[in-house]
Chains A and B, each alone.
Chain A
């Protein structure tokens, strides 16, 4: 019998055995239980998003010991991570393994975190300057940690620094597939793009915590369901129908992004002619000024066919935001939606706009803004929603954006909200359609306010009002502003795409020579 000692055969056998054990995750039973609820495993998710995956730390283990130190439970560690390849691009990818103690944070039992709240996978994204893709599916905090450490852990001893640092370095994408609570939930929202699948949940504290704190019983979907977070709270950007859809959306978002802020976003195929003139653009805006229309139709007709990827569609709906391509160039699209609050900018729309402008500014995507806004939203709900402060932040974000902004005036542009559509201290290229109108306030509403006494004192108040309106409307004729070069350009709507493509192509000269972190002076957000 050969004595025990190192042989390559034994060593490779050991490696093979441990690799098999790692693949079992938390065990067949737990895997099947989650599958029955519609959730895949973390290994499946990583395999589906990447074309290739080089795992790191697969042999790390979670071991629960008895009083004498003998192992009671031995499972693979609760996190899977490594270097992945997505559509030929290297990325750092990781995810919680819910089948191991609910995705237990590894800080309690490993010398080094693999991921989830900082950790190896985040260090990988930071050092190599590659995108970070994270799958959230964990409870994010466990009183059991006291047992592991033998003392209570002060949470402020744990560093989040890397999680925030990478936000200025590489695209960070998160997907909540399953449940993300506490720290895992917190990690989910510190991203450039987040997606949650139907049936998944996200919360600061789950139903048992809510019961203890507030004494109320609440179902976890009511508390932090996917639909709510993508339409009421806006905590998560996009809703996915299922895990496959979530992964497809992550890949789609990534396709508009550079590997890091030191590189240009990748130009897409240039197979849609920039000279394409769309007759349909004359048919979308109704001649009746009081009728709304579908702004998305305008966007789809102008950007490269099929390239528009909307972000945050369910929340802050008065503004539309999304990524698209123009002659292959990745651009950020903003547009007011006249179907929602008549396009007025309320607090949520302003917040959505701020985050989106910051995204485009960070990754060098020029912005095209299609304007039809009657002003900041008014009314008691808007005031209680802090519309002034949020609206002013939207203005600030736009004027501090580190990218060219081209503004297309489709219809109305009144009030302070218009300051959030173009920057007069930058090039401020504004292109109007003949359907466009602008001013401090719409004439119809303004006349009653400005001439109230005269109208009341007039012999024929209705006639006086009509006459005043006509006089002001004549002065407010957009062509007068065009003649004064108070707006840069007036075009046939069918020329929008060719015009935008020409200017966006030229703007590349600015973007390519301004890579890296932002150069504009950043002022504190009020």
Chain B
């Protein structure tokens, strides 16, 4: 289950997805706040949000897991 890790140390500002959402590569999952900047966190692959491991307002460290993405079952 690929886990999306935080690229910076900062705070979770705005969550953009919920558990169960389908996402494509490049979709914005959430926005973090760090050093007065809004840092977008993007999905690096297609998938489905299976778990959100943080909440808005929470302080997070660089490398901390934020979201779990499961692979989308493909239509054959």
A residues neighboring B (CB under 8 Å): 288, 290-292, 338-339, 341-342, 344, 374, 442, 444-445
B36 x A338 contact (CB < 8 A): no
> Chain B contacts of A374 at CB under 8 A?
35-36
Q: Mark B33-58, 1 if CB is under 8 A from A, else 0.
A: 01111111000000000000000000
> Chain A contacts of B38 at CB under 8 A?
288, 290-292
Question: Shortest Cβ distance from B35 into chain A, in angstroms?
Answer: 4
A290 x B36 contact (CB < 8 A): yes
> Chain A contacts of B35 at CB under 8 A?
341-342, 344, 374
Question: Shortest Cβ distance from B59 into chain A, in angstroms?
Answer: 14
**Complex Cα distance A292/B35, Å?**
11
**Complex Cα distance A292/B39, Å?**
7
> Chain B contacts of A290 at CB under 8 A?
36-38
B residues neighboring A (CB under 8 Å): 7, 34-40
**Complex Cα distance A445/B35, Å?**
11
**Complex Cα distance A442/B37, Å?**
13
Question: Shortest Cβ distance from A438 into chain B, in angstroms?
Answer: 16
**Complex Cα distance A372/B22, Å?**
35
Nearest-neighbor residue (CB-CB) of B34 within chain A = A342
Nearest-neighbor residue (CB-CB) of B13 within chain A = A290
A342 x B40 contact (CB < 8 A): no
**Complex Cα distance A79/B38, Å?**
54
**B interface, by DSSP: helix, strand, loop or mixed?**
strand
**Complex Cα distance A374/B34, Å?**
13
**Complex Cα distance A309/B36, Å?**
31
**Complex Cα distance A290/B37, Å?**
5
**Complex Cα distance A371/B36, Å?**
17
User: Could you jot down 8 A-B contacts, CB within 8 Å?
Assistant: A290-B38, A291-B37, A292-B37, A338-B37, A341-B35, A342-B35, A442-B36, A445-B36
B36 x A444 contact (CB < 8 A): yes
Nearest-neighbor residue (CB-CB) of B10 within chain A = A342
- In this complex, which of A342, A374, A442, A444 has the most chain B Cβ atoms within 10 angstroms of its Cβ? A342
Question: Shortest Cβ distance from A379 into chain B, in angstroms?
Answer: 10
**Complex Cα distance A442/B38, Å?**
16
Question: Shortest Cβ distance from B31 into chain A, in angstroms?
Answer: 9
Question: Shortest Cβ distance from A465 into chain B, in angstroms?
Answer: 16
> Chain A contacts of B37 at CB under 8 A?
290-292, 338, 342
Question: Shortest Cβ distance from A341 into chain B, in angstroms?
Answer: 6
For the complex of A and B, 7 pairs with smallest distance between CB atoms: A342-B35, A290-B38, A342-B37, A292-B37, A291-B38, A290-B37, A341-B35
**Complex Cα distance A442/B40, Å?**
22
**Complex Cα distance A31/B7, Å?**
43
> Chain A contacts of B7 at CB under 8 A?
339
Question: Shortest Cβ distance from A396 into chain B, in angstroms?
Answer: 26
B40 x A291 contact (CB < 8 A): yes
**Complex Cα distance A344/B34, Å?**
12
Question: Shortest Cβ distance from A336 into chain B, in angstroms?
Answer: 12
Given contacts A291-B38, A339-B39, A374-B36, 8 further A-B contacts (CB under 8 A): A290-B38, A291-B37, A291-B40, A292-B38, A338-B37, A341-B35, A342-B37, A344-B35
**Complex Cα distance A288/B37, Å?**
10
- In this complex, which of A292, A344, A442 has the most chain B Cβ atoms within 10 angstroms of its Cβ? A292
Question: Shortest Cβ distance from B75 into chain A, in angstroms?
Answer: 34
Question: Shortest Cβ distance from B73 into chain A, in angstroms?
Answer: 33
Question: Shortest Cβ distance from A385 into chain B, in angstroms?
Answer: 15
**Complex Cα distance A338/B35, Å?**
10
- In this complex, which of B35, B38, B39, B40 has the most chain A Cβ atoms within 10 angstroms of its Cβ? B35
**Complex Cα distance A480/B37, Å?**
26
**Complex Cα distance A444/B35, Å?**
13
- In this complex, which of B7, B34, B37, B39 has the most chain A Cβ atoms within 10 angstroms of its Cβ? B37
Nearest-neighbor residue (CB-CB) of B33 within chain A = A290
**Complex Cα distance A345/B58, Å?**
26
> Chain B contacts of A292 at CB under 8 A?
37-39
**Complex Cα distance A290/B38, Å?**
5
Nearest-neighbor residue (CB-CB) of A344 within chain B = B35
- In this complex, which of B34, B38, B40 has the most chain A Cβ atoms within 10 angstroms of its Cβ? B38
